[in-house]
């Protein structure tokens, strides 16, 4: 079974995916981590991106300057589309490979842009994690050291949380204390275990 975890930036997707992975004894994979790996020098994503005009983001060592790239991605729509056209097929194939190599296991994939990428049909179950926007912005500013304005641009570039919640099979509210989220996850894991067993 393939379970997708999605939601907005700073909503707590990674923590939810990690906890559900433990509760369901599943394999957890992060699309963001896969993207980071693919953009390491010499990897397929890196080679395609540099060849298609991404050379301006290389530092003197030939490594992609991730801070410079991230800042540009949310101000240059064409650049974002270009990078996504390179990385998304590679990430999706990576997720499929994990599933195919672990057919008897539950695979939990954290995919921030699941709906934006049109991947919803790839998953057996989709869970949307959300957090109230004020708390979310504070979390990201504190975590990443970015400005509130930049976080706002990132949020604006994604499908709204409300739309993701409506489209998902289950919704986890991570706005309050983690203990409240944990209670939701225990209930959700019990439901999912019944589905998996059935």
pLDDT in tens, 25-43: 999 999 999 999 999 999 9
Report helix angle 77-100 to 44-51, nearest 10. 160
Nearest residue to 17 (alpha-carbon basis) of 111, 113, 87:
111
Q: Are 3 and 94 in contact (CB under 8 A)?
A: no
Q: pTM, whole model, 2 decimals?
A: 0.89
Nearest residue to 196 (alpha-carbon basis) of 106, 120, 100, 103:
106
Coil vs helix vs strand at 187? helix
The first and second tokens of residue 64, run together, are 């992609």
The Cα 84–Cα 91 span in angstroms is 10
pLDDT at 150: 75
Q: Give pLDDT tens digits for 114-150.
A: 999 999 999 999 999 998 766 767 777 777 777 777 7
pLDDT at 141: 72
Q: Give pLDDT tens digits for 144-187.
A: 777 777 777 777 777 888 899 999 999 999 998 999 999 999 99
- Mean per-residue pLDDT over the chain, rounded: 92
The Cα 67–Cα 80 span in angstroms is 14
The string over 163-194, giving b where at least 16 C-beta atoms fall within 10 Å of a residue's C-beta and e elsewhere, is: ebbeebebbbbbbeeeeebeebbeebbeebee
Q: Give pLDDT tens digits for 84-94.
A: 999 999 999 99
User: Strand (E) positions, 86-143?
Assistant: 107-110, 125-130
Domain ranges of the chain: 2-30+87-197
Alpha-carbon distance values, 18 to 28, 127, 182 (Å) = 7, 13, 12
10 pLDDT tier (thresholds 50, 70, 90): confident
pLDDT at 99: 97
pLDDT at 35: 96
Structure letter (DSSP) for residue 43: S
The Cα 99–Cα 97 span in angstroms is 5
CATH topology of domain 2-30+87-197: Rossmann fold (3.40.50)
The three-point CA angle 144-23-178 to 5° equals 40
- Report whether pLDDT(55) > 90: yes
């Amino acid at each position: 079974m393939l379970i997708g975890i999605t939601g907005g930036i700073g909503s707590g997707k990674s923590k939810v995916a990690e906890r559900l992975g433990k509760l369901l004894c599943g394999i957890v994979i992060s699309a963001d981590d896969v993207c980071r790996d693919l953009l390491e020098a010499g990897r397929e994503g890196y080679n395609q991106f540099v060849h298609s005009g991404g050379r301006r983001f290389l530092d003197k060592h030939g490594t992609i300057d991730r801070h410079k790239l991230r800042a540009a991605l949310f101000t240059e729509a064409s650049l974002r589309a270009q990078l996504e056209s390179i990385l998304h097929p590679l990430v999706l194939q990576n997720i499929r490979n994990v599933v195919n190599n672990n057919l008897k296991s539950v695979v939990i994939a954290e995919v921030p842009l699941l709906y934006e990428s049109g991947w919803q049909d790839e998953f057996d179950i989709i869970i949307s994690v959300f957090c109230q926007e004020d708390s979310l912005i504070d979390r990201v500013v504190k975590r990443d050291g970015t400005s509130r304005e930049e976080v706002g641009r990132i949020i604006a570039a994604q499908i709204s949380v409300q739309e993701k919640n409506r489209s998902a099979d289950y919704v986890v509210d991570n706005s309050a204390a983690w203990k409240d989220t944990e209670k939701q996850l225990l209930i959700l894991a019990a439901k999912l275990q019944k589905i998996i067993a059935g």
